[in-house]
């Protein structure tokens, strides 16, 4: 009798897990349709990106991010392609001439952040807040042989509506990981936005064409995040000419840098940021909530690789924040926000 009861309990647990996964899938689909995922656009490629601290042997801080992106690619254009209304307010800053390629990207994603010790029901004061973000981003990129420009608009929601608690608990239940206990302290529901503008230059190319040096700048403003940054990247590989604009996709987490046209490359880079505000550390914008003090000079070391074949691309990277002048708490926060990231893209 006890054995029958145990089997029945296991079946009930399996049903709960399956229903939770199905609910999350339906939520993502509804969110994508709500925020205008392309139905009539000329979509050429699609990608899925997974950010996770599992790749760096952690399970806290910025613990998980999942992003699905659709790409509308136009090569050898003779005029600027009409952007979507999402980025229209930023188009005054984009070049109007000397454009070879245009890429319009639509991304939907969910990001989860937890405190250092997920076993604590009430994380101690000063701990990184629990938060979930569900977001939609439209990114518009123009490129020529030596530089590429990007504008992007992100709209999303932070708080229980982002379903971060349900996602993490479901995944941890499936894989048998520790149950996160502090989600009752997560940030409150808040609609967030971010406008961003960036440029990347292909500053130097070796005579063999197998190595290049990229530099870039970026600025953003919004309740999700506001800041300015500059960075450099060194790449080595094959068929590098057409792939350098993809480094701009990592700023909005649409994708990792991607090789194209049967090319491949390995890379390393560093980015220097000054953050004015970011909701994951500052807490809710218009109400009291959990928050953490931090060094607003936030820098990032990145290294990775990408390989492309006929109709697919695979990319992997490790992103590790580092503090130059911060204290012990800032260095601890660096550990909480480092992660590995994997992207798979395919032609459709």
Q: Which pLDDT does position 285 carry in this prediction? A: 94
Kindly report which listed range (188-192, 292-296, 314-318, 339-343) carries the lowest average pLDDT score.
292-296
Q: How many CB atoms lie within 10 A of CB 327?
A: 11
Q: Is the pLDDT of residue 4 over 50?
A: no
The residue among 187, 162, 194 whose CA lies nearest residue 285 is 187
Q: What is the CATH number of the domain that holds 258?
A: 2.40.128.140
Please state the domain count of the chain.
1
Q: What is the pLDDT of residues 108-154, one digit of tens each?
A: 999 998 887 888 888 888 788 999 999 999 999 999 999 999 999 99
Q: Is residue 296 part of a domain?
A: yes
Residue 340 belongs to what domain range? Answer: 12-347
Q: Is residue 6 part of a domain?
A: no
Q: Which pLDDT does position 7 carry in this prediction? A: 46
Q: Is residue 7 part of a domain?
A: no
Q: Is residue 69 part of a domain?
A: yes
Q: Which pLDDT does position 40 carry in this prediction? A: 45
Q: Which residues contact 290 (CB under 8 A, 6 or more apart)?
A: 123, 127, 129, 130, 185, 186, 187, 283
Q: Is the pLDDT of residue 33 over 80?
A: no
Q: Is the pLDDT of residue 38 over 80?
A: no
Q: Which pLDDT does position 109 carry in this prediction? A: 94
Q: Is residue 248 part of a domain?
A: yes
Q: Is residue 3 part of a domain?
A: no
Query: For 198, what's the count of Cα atoms within 13 Å in the CB-facing half-sphere?
Result: 28
How large is the average pLDDT for residues 152-178? 90
How large is the average pLDDT for residues 161-168? 92
Q: What is the pLDDT of residues 222-277, one digit of tens each?
A: 999 999 999 999 999 999 998 999 999 988 777 899 999 999 999 999 999 999 99
Main-chain dihedrals φ then ψ at residue 21, nearest 5 degrees: -60, -45
Specify the residue for token string 């506001």: 226
Show the tokens assigned to 271: 């980015």
Q: Which pLDDT does position 34 carry in this prediction? A: 47
For residue 97, the surrounding DSSP H or E stretch is: none
Q: What is the pLDDT of residues 54-95, one digit of tens each?
A: 777 776 667 788 999 999 998 888 666 778 899 999 999 999
Q: Which residues contact 82 (CB under 8 A, 6 or more apart)?
A: none
């Amino acid at each position: 009798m006890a054995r029958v009861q145990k089997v029945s309990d296991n079946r009930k647990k399996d049903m709960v897990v399956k229903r939770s996964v199905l609910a999350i899938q339906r939520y993502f689909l509804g969110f994508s349709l709500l925020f205008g995922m392309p139905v009539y656009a000329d979509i050429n490629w699609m990608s899925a990106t997974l950010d996770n601290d599992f790749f760096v042997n952690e399970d806290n801080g910025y613990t998980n991010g999942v992003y699905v992106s659709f790409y509308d690619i136009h090569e050898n254009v003779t005029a600027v392609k009409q952007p979507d209304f999402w980025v229209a307010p930023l188009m005054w800053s984009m070049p109007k001439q000397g454009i070879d390629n245009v890429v319009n990207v639509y991304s939907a994603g969910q990001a989860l952040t937890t405190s250092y010790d997920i076993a604590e029901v009430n994380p101690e004061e000063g701990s990184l807040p629990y938060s979930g973000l569900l977001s939609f981003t439209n990114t518009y990129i123009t490129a020529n042989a030596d530089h590429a420009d990007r504008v992007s608009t992100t709209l999303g929601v932070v708080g229980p509506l982002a379903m971060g608690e349900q996602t993490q608990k479901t995944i941890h239940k499936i894989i048998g990981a520790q149950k996160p206990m502090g989600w009752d302290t997560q940030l409150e529901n808040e609609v967030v936005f971010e406008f961003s503008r960036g440029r990347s230059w292909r500053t130097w190319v070796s005579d063999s064409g197998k190595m290049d040096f990229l530099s870039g700048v970026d600025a953003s403003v919004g309740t999700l995040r506001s800041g300015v940054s500059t960075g450099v990247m060194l790449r080595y590989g094959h068929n590098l000419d057409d792939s350098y604009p993809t480094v701009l996709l990592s700023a909005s987490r649409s994708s990792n840098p991607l090789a194209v046209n049967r090319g491949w490359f390995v890379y390393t880079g560093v980015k220097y940021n000054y953050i004015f505000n970011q909701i994951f550390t500052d807490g809710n914008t218009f109400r009291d909530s959990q928050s953490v003090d931090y060094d607003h000079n936030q820098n990032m070391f990145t290294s990775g690789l990408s390989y492309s074949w006929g109709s697919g691309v695979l990319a992997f990277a490790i992103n590790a924040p580092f503090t130059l002048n911060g204290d012990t708490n800032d260095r601890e926060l660096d550990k909480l926000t480092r992660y590995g990231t994997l992207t798979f893209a395919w032609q459709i």
